[in-house]
Amino acid sequence: MPYVNIRVAGQLSKEQKANISRGVTEVISREANKPPEAVLIIIDEVSRENVAKAGKLVSEG
Distance, in Å, from the CA atom of 47 to the CA atom of 59, rounded to the nearest integer, reads 8
Question: Would the pLDDT of 61 be above 90?
Answer: no
pTM: predicted TM-score of the whole model, two decimal places: 0.85
Q: Which residues contact 30 (CB under 8 A, 6 or more apart)?
A: none
Taking only the tens place, the pLDDT of each residue in 5-51 is 999 999 999 999 999 999 999 999 999 999 999 999 999 999 999 99
Q: What is the domain partition of the chain in residue ranges?
A: 3-60
CATH class of the structural domain 3-60 = alpha beta
Instruction: Name the residue among 45, 39, 43 with its Cα closest to residue 27.
Output: 39
